[in-house]
Chain A
């Protein structure tokens, strides 16, 4: 696609429910990143994928968070048993190749509210 596409754009869920956030990167981009932006906070790195593998999962806040990527394209971030502190904007980004100073392009984010 023309840009990074994320869905849903807005999600309100009850505490304890599971949510899935989807990211469709720019066509041909091999690297895919997930970041979290909490209200008034900066960007918190969660995980990145090179192809389908995730060499660095160190940013995932807890074992309730998981992510996968299939076919080197679409990625899903899953949050199990959501808590109120999970409320944030979840931003996905992609780039042609990791490193090398290549630009990462962001989607518009999925706004998650846990009530």
Chain B
């Protein structure tokens, strides 16, 4: 069975500061990992995903995430937060030939001016 844990339901950073959103997963087989962002009153948009290959994945809007198998983690980072980054972020996991995506409970990012 798969599961996803996102530490911190709310994270607050100042504009220009580092953004770090944590995601840990459990999976019995190599996973596929995703980060989605949800802006207020909108659906979810893909930020980035890891399937195979390079473990550092770059996504849209300056976000990146690193797959660390030894730590079963896929933390999302951005060097410098922007006000427009305020949203809810969801980590998700699936596996090859498995049709269910498991989502974490989400982390709401607040960016202070």
Contact = CB atoms under 8 A, between A and B. Distances in A.
A77 interface: no
B43 interface: yes
A43 interface: yes
Nearest to B42: A108
B49 A100 contact: no
Interface in B58-109: 90, 94-106
B34 to A, nearest CB: 7
Contact of B94 (A56, A101, A106, A107): A101
Contacts, number: 58
A99 B106 contact: no
Interface string A72-115: 00000000000000000001010000111101111111000000
Residue among A43, A107, A109 facing the most chain B CB atoms (10 A cut-off): A43
Contact of B97 (A45, A93, A100, A103): A100
A41 B105 contact: yes
A36 to B, nearest CB: 11
A50 interface: yes
Contact of A45 (B44, B98, B100): B100
A100 B101 contact: no
Nearest to A31: B99
Given A91-B43, A91-B44, A106-B44, A45 B102 contact: yes
Interface of A: 4, 31, 33, 35, 41-43, 45, 48, 50, 55-56, 91, 93, 98-101, 103-109
11 contacts: A43-B103, A45-B100, A55-B99, A93-B44, A99-B99, A103-B49, A104-B101, A107-B43, A108-B41, A108-B42, A109-B43
List 10 A-B pairs, minimum CB-CB distance, nearest first.
Answer: A42-B105, A101-B51, A98-B99, A101-B32, A43-B103, A106-B43, A99-B97, A108-B43, A106-B44, A42-B106
